[in-house]
Amino acid sequence: MPTHVTAHHKAPAKPVSRRRLRICHECDLLLALPRLKTGEKAVCPRCEHTLVRRHSNPAERSLALAVATLILLALSVAFPFLSFDISGIGNRIELTETASTLIGLHQPLVALCVLLTVIILPAVYLLSLVWLCVGITLGQPLPRSRQMARTLGYITPWMMADVFVIGTLVSLIKIIGMADIELGMSFWTFCAYALLLLLTTQSVDRDWLWLYLDPEPKAPPEGELGVSASQQGLAGCNTCGLVNKLSDNGRPRCLRCDEPLHPYTGVNNQATLALLVASMLLYIPANLYPIMITTSLGDTQPATIIGGVLLFFQHGDWPIAMIILTASVLVPVSKMLALLWLCYIVRQPKTTLSQLSRVRLYRITEFIGRWSMVDVFVVAILVALIRNGSLMSIEPGAGALSFTAVVVLTMLAAIMFDPRSIWQSAAHLPPVSTSNVTSPKENHHV
């Protein structure tokens, strides 16, 4: 388990290298990174956001994990995923059919969402990471390395292989009582792929990566540690982490990676509110219209989200009912309410809830949003697997597209929300105890 070291927020006795200056993306504080050992991470002393995390042999580690994950992804696509049999009548599907079947049933947007989050975006991420790590291990970055490094942060939130695994398990529990289920080789390789993909993303140290790709740019010489960057005319790049001096010439861009900078200019939640309103409006048809339609022996039964949850409760499948209820009802509703409350509370700095508690609430909403895709993946898997005409078949309902849009819009709303607005009334750090600095061998604050 990595230990954490609190980043410097006060001027140290010795001058700090400008290469070690960073701006916390969640509270806008100008900090200096301590000298980190392998297995340690630096955290912001005000909002406890993880700034950087150091690994041993980062390039070789990420390269090995990325190559192994790509191999498992290829195996997952190449072999049968699931099959079922009812009285000699059944079906067998491959992983890609969870999307292609939806296209044939006039749900191309839902199919595209499934394909992107489960296969395409992870493949792009892994190939980009392999390209970067190969160049680093060879001692010379390969062409287009900067462009590929810029894409890593954008892709990460939208990779949902782990959520797809949960959706597969829910689908199996749903039909295991009525059919004989056989797990293909692709199922097991996909589970391993989802686990390795998670380990791969956690192994990437983007701070170290950009220092290797381009170590030349340095932070501006002016700047007071422990003071918000916006008050000093500074802005930190969300992609490479470089501290930039703001200018009045058009929209500022990072000197190192050329990404647009997003300096804090005050509370501005219009984009978040607009996305939340759109998601709330779409959540109404997502619940009113059926999310899938089941045909059994010529009898057609549409099922809404709530209807499906109640059906599981009636059959005694309480665990699966609670998973669907949590992922499809509690999570999206709680996320929308939490973001609405945060948009309101940032304009009311004097409240009983501390700023640290507010930012923790924001992190929770940002983390849980993607898990609402479980219901979408369940529909994709069942629609592809259960295809036996009037004997037994499942088709996507009109609510599937609306619910997919709700998940995407709430995720975008969380991304567009600026957590720095939570700290707008705090210009300087409170005193930080040295007990916050921990290490397995010794306590140190370098």
Q: Check residue 3 and give its pLDDT.
A: 61
Dihedral sign for Cα atoms in the order 208, 212, 213, 215: positive
Dihedral sign for Cα atoms in the order 281, 284, 287, 291: negative
- The answer to which of 71-80, 259-268, 318-327, 433-442 has the lowest mean pLDDT is 433-442
6 confidence band (pLDDT: 50, 70, 90): low
pLDDT one-digit tens code per residue, 53-103: 888 888 999 999 999 999 999 999 999 998 887 766 778 889 999 999 999
pLDDT(221) > 90: no
Which of 355, 59, 397 lies closest to 208 in space, CA to CA?
59
Q: Check residue 313 and give its pLDDT.
A: 79
Q: What is the dihedral of CA 213, 216, 220, 223, to 10 degrees?
A: 60
Residue 301, Cβ neighbours under 10 Å: how many? 12
436 vs 261: which has the higher pLDDT: 261
Most confident range (mean pLDDT) of 13-22, 39-48, 65-74, 300-309 is 65-74
198 confidence band (pLDDT: 50, 70, 90): very high
Residue 334, Cβ neighbours under 10 Å: how many? 15
CATH, domain range 57-96+105-213? 1.20.140
pLDDT one-digit tens code per residue, 102-147: 998 889 999 999 999 999 999 999 999 999 999 999 988 889 888 8
Residue 143, Cβ neighbours under 10 Å: how many? 9
CA distances from 415 to 34, 359, 409 (A): 28, 13, 10
Q: Check residue 440 and give its pLDDT.
A: 31
Would you list the DSSP string of 5-52?
EEPB-S--SSPPPGGGEEE-TTT-BEEE---PPTTEEEE-TTT--EEE
Percent of the chain with pLDDT over 70: 87
Q: Check residue 353 and give its pLDDT.
A: 72
Helix (H, G, I), strand (E, B) or coil at 352: coil
* Residue 357 neighbours by CB under 8 Å, 6+ apart: none
Q: Check residue 12 and give its pLDDT.
A: 54
Which of 238, 395, 382, 219 lies closest to 302 in space, CA to CA?
395
Q: Check residue 412 and give its pLDDT.
A: 94
Averaged over 19-32, what is the pLDDT?
88
Q: Tokens standing for 47?
A: 């909002």
Contact call for residues 432 and 1 (beta carbons, < 8 A): no
307 vs 177: which has the higher pLDDT: 307
Domain boundaries along the sequence of the chain: 1-54, 57-96+105-213, 266-423
Q: Tokens standing for 297?
A: 């022996």
157 confidence band (pLDDT: 50, 70, 90): very high
Contacts 24+ apart (CB under 8 A), 410-413: 410/275, 410/276, 410/279, 410/332, 410/335, 410/336, 410/339, 410/369, 410/372, 411/157, 411/158, 411/369, 411/370, 412/275, 413/271, 413/272, 413/275, 413/276, 413/279, 413/336, 413/339
In the block, which residue shows the tokens 């597969």?
A: 168
Indicate the average pLDDT of the chain. Answer: 84
Helices (H) and strands (E) in the chain, counts: 15, 14
420 vs 429: which has the higher pLDDT: 420
pLDDT(283) > 50: yes
- Report the alpha-carbon distance of residue 396 to residue 383 in Å, rounded: 7
Contact call for residues 126 and 62 (beta carbons, < 8 A): no
Contact call for residues 294 and 394 (beta carbons, < 8 A): yes
Averaged over 179-184, what is the pLDDT?
83
pLDDT one-digit tens code per residue, 372-424: 899 899 989 988 888 776 667 888 888 999 999 999 999 999 999 999 888 86
Q: Check residue 320 and give its pLDDT.
A: 76
Averaged over 1-6, what is the pLDDT?
58
434 vs 74: which has the higher pLDDT: 74
Question: What is residue 84's DSSP assignment?
Answer: E
Percent of the chain with pLDDT over 90: 34
Q: Where are the beta strands (DSSP E) in 107-256?
A: 180-183, 234-236, 243-245
The structure's pTM equals 0.87
Averaged over 307-318, what is the pLDDT?
76
Q: Tokens standing for 55?
A: 């690994």
